[in-house]
Amino acid sequence: MSYHLHTTRGYSFPAVSSAMQKAIRRGDAKLAGYWGLELWASGYGQYVWRRLLTVSAEDCWGILTAEVKALHDSYTEINKTTTAKKPKGRIFVSKAVILLCLAKKSRDPDHLQNFVYDQQAGLDPETLTDELEQSGEYIAIPDYAYDCHTPQGRKMGKTKAEFFRQEQDALNPFIPGLFDTLIDS
């Protein structure tokens, strides 16, 4: 039996999550914000924060994680005393997404952990549906969201080596990293 999570508008949860992170890597605040708020509005608020914190460590240069954590703490504070059934403070999610999009990008932390611990990456250290489309509210999930981390991408034969190359090439704004020479572009 297969269980698939979907968002309020019927998008595949894993694909939306991937699209948000990939849009952040590409510095596309408009699209990253759409996907982030789609997840938030679908009841996945705590997941969004975990993912944004991960993105701040995986994809962004500098100490931006502290700022994202401060925004999460503010979001948590706003929701401490609320009696509303729906969480408040999506503005903090929006601001975190924008800051991450504008940040200089570097995948050094992710590259380091993968090169050291995940040799299956295949890298040589040397060198929605029709209904959604017809609804008028449909925004297609970009092809780049389907990579080796999503079920759809794996079905398409996407590899981790391909992921490393494509995501490195997509960093925007880009700042040179310590391990860039290990990626074949």
Structural domain includes residue 131 = yes
CATH number of the domain at 73, please.
1.20.272.10
pTM of the model: 0.76
Is 175's pLDDT higher than 70? yes
Structural domain includes residue 122 = yes
**Per residue in 134-155, pLDDT tens?**
666 678 899 999 999 999 999 9
At 128, is the pLDDT very low, low, confident or very high (cuts 50, 70, 90)? very low
* H-helix segments, the chain: 13-25, 29-41, 45-58, 64-80, 90-102, 108-117, 130-135, 151-155, 160-170
pLDDT score recorded for residue 83: 77
Is 177's pLDDT higher than 50? yes
Structural domain includes residue 6 = no
